[in-house]
Structure 1
Amino acid sequence: MTAPIALQLYTVREALARDFAGIMKQIADIGYVGVEPVFHPSASSGHGLPGTTIGEAARLFKELNLVVPSAHVPLPLGEDQNRVLDFMAALGCKRLISMKGPESFETMDLVKQTCDLFNEAHAVAAENGLELGIHNHWWEFLQIEGRYAYRVMLEHLDPAIFFQIDTYWVQTAGLDPAQVVRELGPRAPLLHIKDGPAVKGEPQVAVGDGVLDVPRIIQAAEGTAEWLIVELDHCATDMMEAVEKSYQYLVGGGFAHGNKG
C-alpha cells in the first residue's frame, strides 16, 4: 500500500503570506492528504502561519480535511518549550520535527553534544505525549573523522527518536538516498521528497523533473514510509505549478496516494 502525500508549508510560504485560506484551499483541491506546518517563534505572526492564528489554521485544516502528520518546530527546550507544546496541542499534532545547523556537526564532539540536546528534547516531548524526529540537510551526511555524522547520531540518540529523511539533501551530500532510506528502515517513517539538480544553492524543480531516482527511493521505503511529504525550498518554475505537478507525478505514478486520482 502506498503512503499518503502531504505538503510542507514552507514550500508555499510566500503565497501563504498573501492569501492563507485561499492557498490552503488550492492545496486541498489538488488532492493533498496532509500538510506539514512550520513554527517560527521569531516570525511576525508569532508562529509562522501568516495571516491567521494557530486556532484559525487548525480549524481550516479540519474544514478542508487536511491531516497534520507532523510539524517543524524548534526543540521544546528553554523559552521555546511551552510555545512549541502549545503549538502542537492546538494543531492536534503528535510528531514534532526539529534540526540543527552545520555548525553543530563540525567535529565528533559537537555531534555528540547535539545528540545530547536532541535526547533532552525527546524526554520533554515524550513526557507530553509527543514524538521527536530529526530533519536532515546535507551536513549530517558528511564524514567527520572518517565517519558519517548520521551513523554517529544513530549510536548516540535515544532509539525512540526518528528521522525525517530529506532525500534530496542526502543525494546533494553525495550519498545514495535509496540506500540510506533502506538502512534506516522503520526509523525513517516520514520522507521529504523534492527534486532538482542536487547542487547546493541551485533552485529545485517539481518532483520527477530533476535528477533524483524517485521511484527507486520510494521502493526502498516500501513498508516503512508512513508519509511522503513534498517540499521545495526554492523553485526554478512557478511554485504552485510545481506543487501540483509534484502531486500528479507521485499520485499519478502510483508512488503515493492522495484525495484525488
Structure 2
Amino acid sequence: MLNEQTSRRDFLKTSLLTAAGTALLSNELLAESFKGEKSQIGVQLWSVREDISKDPKASLAKIAKMGYKNVEGFGYSNGKFFGLSASEYAKVLADNGLKMPSAHNMITSKDYVNGQLSDSWKQMVEDAAKVGQKYSIVPYMADEDRSQGKLMAEIFNKAAEHCKTLNLKFGYHNHDFEFKSYNGETLYKTLMDNTEKHIIFEMDLYWAVLAGQKPGEWFKNYKGRFTHVHVKDHDPVKNVSVEVGEGDINFQEIFNQKAIGGIKYFIVELEAYKRTPMEGIEISLNNLKKLKF
C-alpha cells in the first residue's frame, strides 16, 4: 500500500464505515458515441477534490478553460452535487461546455439484503439519472467484500438491471488488490467471468500496471468491456502516481489496443501531487493530447 496514495482509499473506507450504502460518488450529463480523442478525454474530479468542494463553479470553469470537455464525478450526497441541486449543477456544466459521461457511485454487500438493493442506493442512481448520467461506476470494493467475489458479481448484475431501467450502464473501477487471489482465483477475473457482458470495467491503468498486469492481455480476453480507462503515470523512483507523461508507463502501447478493449473515455486522475492539483491536471491533459488514440 502506497503511503502517499492512500488518501482516496481512506476516504472511501471511512465513508463505508460511517455510512454504508450512502451515495459516495455520482454526477453526469449526456454521453456521446465515440467521435475522437479530444471529445473523449476527461478528468476525474477527485483529482481536484479540495478545489471542487470549496467552489464547484469556479473549479469547473477553470477545468473547461484548460480544454477539458468531459469530467467524471464524485461526491454526490443527499441529492446534492458539491452542494448544488441537480438542476443547478447541470447548468454549471452546460454553461462551461462540459459533459459528464461517467461518475463514481459506491455499492457494497450491505446494499443487498434478501436479494434486494437498498433504497438509498437506488435513490442515488435515480438522482444521477436526473442529471443525464449514463455510466454509474463503482470506485472501490470494501475490505470485507473482497473474499466474496461471486456475491459481488451477483450484486453488480442486480445493480446493472436497475441501472438499465434508468438508461444507465453499470461498471467497476479497480485499484491493485483486485489482481490478488481470493478463494483461489484473481478477484478481477472472478468479477469479469461472473458479471453480464454489458457491465463495463473502468481500468485504472496505473494500478493495473503497478500490480504487474498487462492491460492489453485483459483487453484481448474480455473484448469490448473496457469503455473507460483512468490515466495517471508512475514515478519509478518514488513509486507514486504522477502527471501523464512524467513517469514510466507506456500509454501509447496500451492506447494502440483501444479498439479491442472498447475504450471510449480516457480519464485523467491524480492522487499524489508534485504541484497544485489544477496545474497537474492541465499538464496531464496537454501530454495526453500528444499521444495517438
Q: Which residue of 2 aligns with 1:157?
A: 195
Q: How far apart are the structure 1 equivalents of 2:152 and 2:126?
A: 24
What is the CA deviation profile of residues 225-257 of structure 1, one whole-angstrom value per residue up to 9, with x for unaligned ones?
Answer: 1110111123232211110000000113344xx
What is the CA deviation profile of residues 125-162 of structure 1, one whole-angstrom value per residue up to 9, with x for unaligned ones?
Answer: 11222210111111111123543221222221112111
Q: Decide whether aligned partners of structure 1 residues 143 and 118 sit closer, same or farther in structure 2, where only a CA change above 3 A counts.
A: same
Q: Decide whether aligned partners of structure 1 residues 236 and 24 sit closer, same or farther in structure 2, where only a CA change above 3 A counts.
A: same
Q: Which residue of 1 aligns with 2:163?
A: 125
Q: Which residue of 1 aligns with 2:257?
A: 220
SS of residue in 2 equivalent to 1:204 = strand
Taking structure 2 as the reference length, the TM-score comes to: 0.77
What is the CA deviation profile of residues 71-107 of structure 1, one whole-angstrom value per residue up to 9, with x for unaligned ones?
Answer: 111238313234313321232112111142343223x
State whether residues 168 and 198 of structure 1, in contact with CA within 8 Å, keep that contact through their aligned partners in structure 2: no
Give the alignment of 1:50-199 within 5 angstroms.
Answer: 50-75=82-107, 77-98=117-138, 99-106=140-147, 110-197=148-235
Q: Cα RMSD over matched residues?
A: 2.3
Runs of 4+ in 1 over 4 A off after TM superposition: none
In structure 1, the gaps of 5 or more residues are 256-261
State whether residues 136 and 169 of structure 1, in contact with CA within 8 Å, keep that contact through their aligned partners in structure 2: yes
SS of residue in 2 equivalent to 1:191 = strand
What is the CA deviation profile of residues 195-216 of structure 1, one whole-angstrom value per residue up to 9, with x for unaligned ones?
Answer: 12379x9642111112211111
Deviates further, 73-82 or 230-239: 73-82
Letter of the 1:100 counterpart: M
State whether residues 235 and 246 of structure 2, in contact with CA within 8 Å, keep that contact through their aligned partners in structure 1: no
State whether residues 74 and 80 of structure 1, in contact with CA within 8 Å, keep that contact through their aligned partners in structure 2: no
State whether residues 227 and 263 of structure 2, in contact with CA within 8 Å, keep that contact through their aligned partners in structure 1: yes
Question: Is 1:9 the counterpart of 2:49 in the alignment?
Answer: no
In structure 2, the gaps of 5 or more residues are 1-34, 112-116
Letter of the 1:197 counterpart: D
SS of residue in 2 equivalent to 1:70 = strand
- The sequence identity of aligned pairs, in percent, is 28
Letter of the 2:82 counterpart: P
Number of aligned positions between the proteins: 247
State the Cα distance separating 1:20 from its structure 2 match: 1.3
Letter of the 2:62 counterpart: Q
Question: Is 1:20 the counterpart of 2:23 in the alignment?
Answer: no
Letter of the 1:205 counterpart: V
Letter of the 2:157 counterpart: N
Q: Decide whether aligned partners of structure 1 residues 78 and 231 sit closer, same or farther in structure 2, where only a CA change above 3 A counts.
A: same
Q: How far apart are the structure 2 equivalents of 1:17 and 1:39?
A: 9
